[in-house]
Amino acid sequence: MTELEQKIRAEAARLLSEGLVDVVMAFRKEDAPLRPQPAFFTCVEDLENLIYNGLCANNLANYLTRYPDETRIGMLVRGCENRSVNALVVEKQHSRQNLYLIGVPCTGIIDWRKVVALTGEDILGYEETDSSLHVRTKRQSYQLPRRELLHASCQRCVHPNPLSADIVLGEALPEGDPALIRERVEAFEALTRAERTAYFKQEAERCIRCYACREACPMCYCEECFVDHNSPRWTESGTTPAGTHAWHIIRAFHQTGRCTSCGACERACPMDIQMTYLTDKLGKDMWDSYQFAAGMDAKSQPPFASFTLDDRKHFQAGGMHS
Q: By the criterion CB under 8 A, which residues form the site for other proteins?
A: 188-189, 193-194, 196-197, 200, 226, 232-236, 240-242, 245-246, 249-250, 252-253, 256, 278, 281-282, 285-286, 289, 303-304, 307-309, 311-312, 314-321
Could you tell me the smallest distance in angstroms from the CB atom of residue 183 to other proteins?
Answer: 15
Nearer to other proteins, 155 or 256 (CB): 256
Rounded Cα distance, 293 and 72, in Å: 27
Q: Which is nearer to other proteins, 32 or 320 (CB)?
A: 320
Report in angstroms how near the CB of residue 301 gets to other proteins at its nearest: 12
In whole angstroms, how close is the CB of 193 to other proteins at the nearest point?
A: 5
| Least spacing, CB of residue 312 vs other proteins, in Å | 4
**Cβ contacts of 77 within 8 Å, gap of 6 or more:** 60, 61, 85, 101, 102, 103, 104, 162, 165
Looking at the Cβ atoms of 299 and 314, the one nearer to other proteins is 314
Nearer to other proteins (CB atom), residue 142 or residue 188: 188
Residues 6+ apart with CB under 8 A from 79: 105, 106, 157, 159, 160, 161, 162, 163
The least CB distance from residue 250 to other proteins, in Å, is 6
Give the nearer residue to other proteins in terms of CB position, either 95 or 240: 240
Q: End-to-end CA distance of the chain: give it in Å, rounded.
A: 69
Contact 257, 282 (CB under 8 A): yes
CB atoms within 10 A of CB 264: 29
Q: One-letter amino acid identity for 115?
A: V
- Tell me how far, at minimum, the Cβ of 300 lies from other proteins, in Å: 15
Q: What count of other Cβ atoms lies within 10 Å of the Cβ of residue 50?
A: 21
Q: Is the dihedral of CA 287, 256, 159, 67 positive or negative?
A: positive
- Our CB check for other proteins shows the closer of 68 and 318 to be 318
Is residue 178 packed enough to be buried (19+ CB in 10 Å), middle (13-18) or exposed (0-12)? middle
